[in-house]
Structure 1
Amino acid sequence: MAKCPACGKEVKTAKKTWKMAGKPDKNGKRTQLTIALYDCCGNTIRQVIDKQKI
């Protein structure tokens, strides 16, 4: 769920979600991010909805 910066409304349904793995840290573990795109008032809002060490 994301908050629209233009109107302040809570947007519940994501238009698109995907997973992305970041660079390894000092211990060799990567952080997997789940990112979602939301649409409201003609704006596209991108938000990280989950983080995991893999």
Structure 2
Amino acid sequence: MPTVTQVKSKNGANHAQRETLRSLGLRRIGQSVEVKDNEQIRGMLHRVRHLVKVDG
């Protein structure tokens, strides 16, 4: 399962991007979560790709 880490602040992001981070379970910079690899998660990661780093 891929690990997603928030690397940039959500300040300045639009509402949809902030809600996407919340749905992924990310609350603060440096926090990491493991997510399933499916189409819905890939779409969410694409929406916030400038705020997160994906490993795995």
TM-score by length of 1: 0.22
Q: Give the structure, 1 or 2, with the largest relative contact order (CA under 8 Å, sep 6 or more).
A: 2
Task: Please state which structure has a larger fraction of its residues in strand.
Answer: 1
Task: Please state which structure has a larger fraction of its residues in helix.
Answer: 2
